[in-house]
């Protein structure tokens, strides 16, 4: 009922009048769309997960309303239950994969910001990125991540913009040992660095290595950016040494694998709700 009401909310049904053809037309159009969803999604919630939030959201009603023809009935055969896409992270993603033979893939990919440049390629259904921001537009002018640059990274035909993406495979005795990488814009390099250091220099297991609080400095702005969770004593000492310590949002999301003595362990970064480590 809420779904139908949400759809009808977009029309001045009072003006159209009680049981007028116009009102009934719109009511019927809203009803058949809601019932199509009912056929697929509704059932005992002790058994099935009903996407109630989505079905009753105003946004979804707006989408449904968009393909209602104000004059003509849409045949039921042209209406199917809504397809709800699973949650998708809105920016850069990293995954690490290794197989039983020790082969490994470290992959970071990006459209830069949420929805890239906001342009969908007609007929193809994918978004164009906005990687142009990774060029330096003008000497000394920071990009969205606060990175500055000059000549070397200026915009030129056929040139690739600078990227911080650092998909990494560390080898030990010629064999893949650590597979890692991260999203996070300018923080990618320092995030990945700390995963490496946490494992190699500090002996942390892979999950602790990706979860441990991180720090970041990118020259400009001159601040030592930190995550929550560092000891107050450490921060006091750093401030005494002249560091401008700034606690900001969590950085990166490093999905990593450690391969040691033939055993693989995965570290899923708790900073992203969709992080996942699995052996298949």
Catalytically active residues are 92
Instruction: Give dist(CA 239, CA 264) in Å, integer.
Output: 39
Backbone conformation region of residue 231, classed left if phi is above 0, alpha if psi is from -120 to 50, else beta: beta
Least gap, CB of 47 to ligand DON (angstroms):
38
Site mask for ligand DON (CB under 6 A), range 92-131, x = bound: x-----------------x-x------------------x
Q: Is 227 in the site for ligand DON (CB under 6 A)?
A: no
Instruction: Give dist(CA 221, CA 56) in Å, integer.
Output: 45
When the beta carbons of 164 and 190 are compared against ligand DON, the nearer one is 164
When the beta carbons of 136 and 176 are compared against ligand DON, the nearer one is 136
When the beta carbons of 165 and 209 are compared against ligand DON, the nearer one is 165
When the beta carbons of 183 and 266 are compared against ligand DON, the nearer one is 183
Instruction: Give dist(CA 154, CA 134) in Å, integer.
Output: 10
Q: What is the DSSP string of 194-247?
A: HHHHHHHTT---HHHHHHS--EE--SSS--EEE-TT--HHHHHHHHHTT--EEE
**DSSP code of 152?**
G
When the beta carbons of 82 and 183 are compared against ligand DON, the nearer one is 183
Question: Applying CB under 6 A, which part among 10-18, 161-169, 238-246, 260-268 lies near ligand DON?
Answer: 161-169
Under 8 Å between Cβ of 125 and 115? no
When binding is defined by CB under 6 A, the residue of 7, 64, 104, 165 that contacts ligand DON is 165
When binding is defined by CB under 6 A, the residue of 149, 167, 181, 185 that contacts ligand DON is 185
Task: Kindly determine how many residues on this chain lie close enough to bind ligand DON according to the rule CB under 6 A.
Answer: 13
Instruction: Give dist(CA 143, CA 132) in Å, integer.
Output: 10
Q: Is 198 in the site for ligand DON (CB under 6 A)?
A: no
**Which residue, among 31, 2, 1, 26, has the nearest Cα to 13 in the 3D structure?**
26
When binding is defined by CB under 6 A, the residue of 6, 164, 194, 255 that contacts ligand DON is 164
Under 8 Å between Cβ of 163 and 192? no
Query: Which residues make up the interface to ligand DON (CB under 6 A)?
Result: 91-92, 110, 112, 131, 134, 163-165, 183-185, 188
């Amino acid at each position: 009922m809420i779904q139908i009401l949400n759809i009808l909310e977009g029309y001045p049904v009072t003006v159209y009048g009680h049981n007028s053809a116009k009102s009934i037309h719109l009511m019927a159009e809203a009803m058949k769309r809601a019932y199509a969803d009912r056929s697929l999604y509704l059932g005992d919630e002790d058994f099935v997960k009903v996407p109630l939030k989505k079905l009753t959201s105003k946004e979804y009603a707006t989408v449904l309303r968009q393909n209602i023809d104000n004059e003509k009935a849409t045949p039921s055969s042209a209406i199917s239950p809504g397809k709800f896409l699973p949650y998708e992270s809105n920016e850069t993603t990293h995954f690490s994969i290794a197989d039983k033979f020790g082969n490994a893939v470290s992959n970071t990919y990006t459209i830069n910001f949420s929805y890239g440049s906001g342009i969908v390629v007609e007929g193809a259904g994918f978004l164009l990125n906005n990687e142009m921001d990774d060029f330096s537009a003008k000497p000394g002018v920071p990009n969205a991540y606060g990175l500055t640059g000059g000549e070397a990274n200026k915009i030129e035909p056929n040139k690739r913009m600078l990227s911080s993406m650092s998909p990494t495979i560390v080898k030990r005795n010629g064999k893949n040992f650590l597979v890692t990488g991260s999203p996070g814009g300018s923080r990618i390099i320092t995030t990945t660095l700390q995963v490496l250091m946490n494992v190699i220099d500090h002996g942390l297991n892979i999950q602790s290595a990706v979860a441990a609080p991180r720090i970041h400095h990118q020259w400009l702005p001159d601040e030592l950016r930190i995550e929550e969770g560092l000891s107050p004593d450490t921060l006091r000492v750093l401030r005494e040494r002249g560091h401008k310590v700034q606690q900001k949002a969590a950085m990166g999301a490093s999905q990593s694998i450690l391969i040691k003595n033939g055993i693989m362990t995965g570290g899923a970064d708790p900073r992203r709700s969709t992080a996942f480590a699995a052996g298949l």
